[in-house]
Copies of this chain bind each other. A is one copy, B any other.
Amino acid sequence: MKSVSLNDFINRLHIMKKNTVTMNDVAEKTGVSKTTISRIINQIPNAASKDTTEKVLKVIDELGYYPNQVAASLKRTTTRTIGLVMGDIENPFYGLVIKGVEEVVRSSGYSLILANSNYDMAAEIELCMLMLSKQVDAILVAPSGSSSCNQYAAVFERQTHLVFMDNYIPGCNVDAVMVNNFKASKEACNHLISLGHREISFIAGTPKKISSDDRTRGFLSALNEKYGSSVTPVVKNGDYTVAGGYNCMKQLLEMPEIPTAVFIANNLMTVGALGAIKDAGLRIPGDISVLGFDDMNWYSINQPSLTAIDQPAFEIGKTAARRVVMRLSHQKQPAPEIIQLDARLIVRDSTAPPRSHRITPKS
């Protein structure tokens, strides 16, 4: 019987009307007007005498009053909330970007509304609109693909502050923060070239996505500068997924002449590619060198440790958030720009000079 009455008690607790102490209650109990109370809460200088302030604060404490920010937001026409739309929050790279964003956003006095688009471009826009109707002050988005700019027109019409991260939609003329993909990719490829590789294959990401295409271009550029038309680069499309990486790698390993090195455009595809190499029974870097875009915390403890391009994910998030906060606090708005941070190549053991022995694909 005891448990029944406990349940009842809990039910009542939950159904009970929410504890709604409003500013009116404080006003009534103190005999001070809402105006003054509001000023005290918002710490307006010279708004209330020491006496009044103390009295009000005491009552606020007694009643357990805390201001309803929804009401405040309505009148202020600003919610001090920023929207964040990501393609895949599960990916540790994006996780770190989010962490960076969150840190800056919160320490600047804003909150974060998060949504996951699952790389669905239509959903992405939809989510932006939803956030706008929730009156976010600005939106940060990691665009999934290359929606043309006019798909974002609906968002622009609302004239919010918009900042892209990790990728951008061309022609949109908004701030974007990302790594210098072309440069990083070229540097990575040059590393392989400097080791003596010629037959380098590239497992690319989502086609037509700017960030992805930049990586491809960087790869091709390095190869072309060194070898011109004497080598025909092999580029496969892995769509940034583990499965995609696995399949691409498998295809590469079925070529008559297996490449001596692979460069893989992101972390998930690298996992897939490593799986395919393992399944094929090949050794890294003895049989094939492997270099991945995105560094992961386990790359250094992998056998062999993996050479990778380290994107400053945390910094990307922080920079983008700072940009947004800047736009929200300054009146003067600098022209939107594409801010490119530098990635850095971390050379480890998975890249080595090309094999001298022949490998024939099985099956």
Is A106 in contact with chain B by the CB < 8 A criterion?
yes
- Which of chain B's residues have a CB closer than 8 A to the CB of A112? 113-115
Is A130 in contact with chain B by the CB < 8 A criterion?
yes
Question: What's the Cα separation between A69 and B77 when bound, in Å?
Answer: 12
Task: Map CB proximity to B onto A113-145 as digits: 1 under 8 Å, 0 otherwise.
Answer: 111100000000000011111110000000000
Instruction: Tell me whether B16 and A159 are in contact (CB under 8 A).
Output: yes
- Which of chain B's residues have a CB closer than 8 A to the CB of A91? 95
Instruction: Tell me whether A157 and B10 are in contact (CB under 8 A).
Output: no
Task: Map CB proximity to B onto A1-41 as digits: 1 under 8 Å, 0 otherwise.
Answer: 00100110011011110111000000000000000000000
Is A170 in contact with chain B by the CB < 8 A criterion?
no
Is A150 in contact with chain B by the CB < 8 A criterion?
no
- Which of chain B's residues have a CB closer than 8 A to the CB of A10? 173, 333, 335-336
Is A346 in contact with chain B by the CB < 8 A criterion?
no
Question: What's the Cα separation between A65 and B98 when bound, in Å?
Answer: 31
> How many residues of A are counted as interface, with CB atoms below 8 angstroms from the partner's CB atoms?
77
Instruction: Tell me whether B66 and A133 are in contact (CB under 8 A).
Output: yes
Copies of this protein, total? 2
Instruction: Tell me whether A135 and B95 are in contact (CB under 8 A).
Output: no
Task: Map CB proximity to B onto A94-117 as digits: 1 under 8 Å, 0 otherwise.
Answer: 111011001100100001111110
Instruction: Tell me whether B271 and A297 are in contact (CB under 8 A).
Output: yes
Instruction: Tell me whether B99 and A111 are in contact (CB under 8 A).
Output: no
A156 to chain B minimum Cβ distance, whole angstroms, is 9
Give 16 new A-B contacts, CB below 8 A, not counting A15-B333, A69-B135.
A11-B333, A13-B159, A15-B331, A18-B77, A18-B159, A68-B133, A69-B133, A70-B73, A70-B74, A70-B79, A90-B92, A90-B95, A90-B98, A92-B95, A94-B95, A302-B302
Q: Which 8 A-B pairs have the closest CB atoms?
A: A114-B114, A303-B303, A275-B301, A14-B333, A274-B301, A95-B95, A90-B95, A70-B135
A-B contact pairs, 23 of them (CB 8 A): A7-B335, A10-B335, A13-B159, A16-B159, A18-B77, A20-B77, A68-B135, A74-B74, A81-B113, A81-B134, A84-B114, A90-B92, A90-B98, A102-B115, A103-B116, A111-B131, A112-B113, A112-B114, A268-B297, A271-B298, A278-B301, A298-B298, A303-B303
